[in-house]
Structures are given as structure tokens and as C-alpha cells.
Amino acid sequence: MPRLSPSQNARDLHERRSDFRERKQPRTQGVASDRAPAYETFVAKILSSPVSIGTNRWRYAWEEVVIKDDHLTAAISGSRKSRSTGTGAEFTYALNLCELCQAVSGTKVGPGVTIATLPSGFSAQPIEADTCVIMHALRRRSGRQLYAFSMPNAIDGTCPSYLTGGGGGAVEEGQI
């Protein structure tokens, strides 16, 4: 039986693949616009109080930071940060991806806490200022920038006075 050899097309295809592997690949993924990549991640610090944009949903001011050798963060001179004024400022705020489910159903808080089962006086809390997050710089379908991170919301509140013995102290047996 004669020995088969690869066709000319198969050899050309192999060469193209090897050329492709040897080229430096970009760090980012997705389709890039003329100015910026479509997807990039970096460390950011949540700034001042968030602005409510619906039930248990907020938009967050932020700034890019670096993690120093002493495990503290520092702002980078000229780094990215949200803007509070100017054209398109609302598009520089960040959204918490865990809060997106609240837009569809106000019955749950990300990641899956049922609001109806929370004790009286307790509610979902926004992400606190000075919290560090992994920020994702994305592009919307329209081409506009979108900044997003994913972090579960804390649940906090105050116990009713009958649970604390009226004076804020511990509950003693037989009081309830």
C-alpha cells in the first residue's frame, strides 16, 4: 500500500497555525474598539457613599489602585476613576453584578437571599466605601464603557427591642 502524504493545503494550514502560535497574543479578550480593549480587569477601591438606582441596587464611585508590598493599597497617579460630573459621567460609575437580579425580582438579594425571610429591621446594604474589588472594564453593545464588579451584599439591621430585653442587653431566659 502506498504511503500517504499530507496535501499542500494541509501543510499550508499547519504553517499558518504555527505562525499564529508564535505571535504574541493580546492580554485582553473580546472585540476592541479604536481606543480601548473590550475587556480588562484591575483592582479598584470603592469610594464615597453609593447612589441608589432601585430596590437594593446602587451605582458606585471608584478609583483604580495597586497593591503594595506591605499589602496596603495606593492610588495610581493618573489612574482610572469614576467621574461625578461631565458628559457621560453616569457611565463611569460601577455596577455590582450581584445586584442585577434585584432589577428583575425585588424578592431576592444577590446571591440568593430571600428578602421576605429577613428579620424585621434588617435589609441589604450597599458595598462599603474603601472596599477593594476586582473591577471589569467592559463595553456595552452600544460601544459605551461599562464598569462592573461582583460582590455579595451584606445584610444588616437592628434587632427589635423585645429581642434585646428592652435596654439593648442580652435576652434572658423567659423574656420572650
Q: pLDDT tens, 74-112? A: 887 777 888 766 566 667 899 999 888 666 666 777 777
Long-range contacts of 73-81 (CB under 8 A, 24+ apart): 73/43, 73/45, 73/132, 75/45, 80/42, 80/44, 80/137, 81/47
Comparing 34 with 86, the larger pLDDT belongs to 86
Q: Tell me, what's the pLDDT at 110?
A: 72
- What is the percent of the chain where pLDDT is above 90? 22
SS (H, E, C) the chain: CCCCCCCHHHHHHHHHHHHHHHCCCCCCCCCCCCCCCCEEEEEEEECCCCEEEECCEEEECEEEEEECCCCCEEECCCCCECCCCCCCHHHCCEEEHHHCHHHHCCCEECCCEEHHHCCCCEEECCCCCCCEEEEEEEECCCCCEEEEECCCCCEEECCCHHHCCCCCCCCCCCCC
Look-up of cell digits 425585588: 106
Handedness of CA 75, 80, 82, 86 (dihedral sign): positive
Grade residue 39 by pLDDT with cuts at 50, 70 and 90. Answer: confident
Q: pLDDT tens, 139-160? A: 888 888 889 999 998 888 887 6
